[in-house]
Chains A and B, each alone.
Chain A
Amino acid sequence: MANPLKTEVIRLYKNLLYLGREYPQGAAYFRQRLKSAFMKNKDVTDPEKIKQLVARGDHVIKELEALYFLRKYRAMKKRYYEPEK
């Protein structure tokens, strides 16, 4: 892997791992899936392809954040507000 991209990939992995702690199906499950997803692509050398994969990883980060927000929002809404007619 090219050097500047290596830090990008490591940064992505760390961020995803951090986010995975609150994953609904468990942090261990998430870590397993995360590791295998990264390992599947470990032999990719084309910088363009790597950038694409990193972008996909960033997209996953956004989706996880949205998931967590929705989960909390829905829980609060259910607990504290009248159901809409």
Chain B
Amino acid sequence: KCPRVSPVVTLCYCFVSPQIRVKPDNTGVVTDGVKHSMNPFCEIAVEEAVKLKEKKLIKEVVAVSCGPQQSQETIRTALAMGADRGIHVDVSGKDYENLGPLQVSKILAALAKQEDAQLILLGKQAIDDDCNQTGQMTAALLDWPQGTFASEVSLEGDKINLVREIDGGLEHIKINTPAVITADLRLNTPRYATLPNIMKAKKKKIATVKPADLGVDLTSRLEVLKVEEPPQREAGMKVETVEDLVVKLKEAGRV
């Protein structure tokens, strides 16, 4: 007897390029022309959802992404990895710049109710803003239990056994469904979306909705005051012997 759970996996469409420049007016970073793709932790979430479906523990995997038109590409990648259908929440322009975890979690909560989802899987944090808040906020808005930083997930009846990676080590918990789970690095090894799978995924549907359709207000409660580059790294010095090193450290007042 396996529970018929239909999870919603959300993906961040974030920039993954290593070279990032701060905008001249210090209001943010330059995102135009920067390579965007699926957040690595979200890839792990998608992989987990697809694995659960392959084990026949869940019914259907729905991939969701919030953002401009281009974020449909991440949904396509998720479909190529094995998701059944996609939902693109169309957010662009100024709304997209202000889109933060609170707004996304409101959208997810509304979608979860609409789709009657039993399980929401996300990456633990996006690598462009490093907020680590969306999963937690979504669970709070829905009043669902949450299993964050999951490194192992198993379904047992209508409950979920989870191992969480925390600072002190590993925590084993058992939570009820419906629930929100955020994926940590060691949860699984995401499969690569190969060309044949991408071709097959073209037949799968992606629905587009607007946040207003879900009754979500996107106003941000945060205002970005300034974005700066980190301080320039100072040049290092080479020393010949350990004695030299000690002398230099003493000079610098470090020892």
Contacts and interface: CB of A to CB of B under 8 A. Distances in A.
Partners in one complex: yes
Interface of A: 11, 14-15, 18-19, 61, 65, 68-69, 72-73, 76-77, 79-81
B196 A15 contact: yes
Categorize the interface residue count of chain B.
10 to 19
B185 A81 contact: yes
A65 to B, nearest CB: 4
B96 interface: no
A76 B185 contact: yes
A77 B195 contact: no
A15 to B, nearest CB: 5
Interface of B: 40-41, 127, 185, 189-190, 192, 194-196
B192 A65 contact: yes
27 contacts: A11-B196, A14-B195, A15-B194, A15-B195, A15-B196, A18-B194, A18-B195, A19-B192, A19-B194, A19-B195, A61-B194, A65-B192, A65-B194, A68-B192, A69-B189, A69-B190, A69-B192, A72-B40, A73-B185, A76-B40, A76-B41, A76-B127, A76-B185, A77-B185, A79-B127, A80-B185, A81-B185
A75 to B, nearest CB: 8
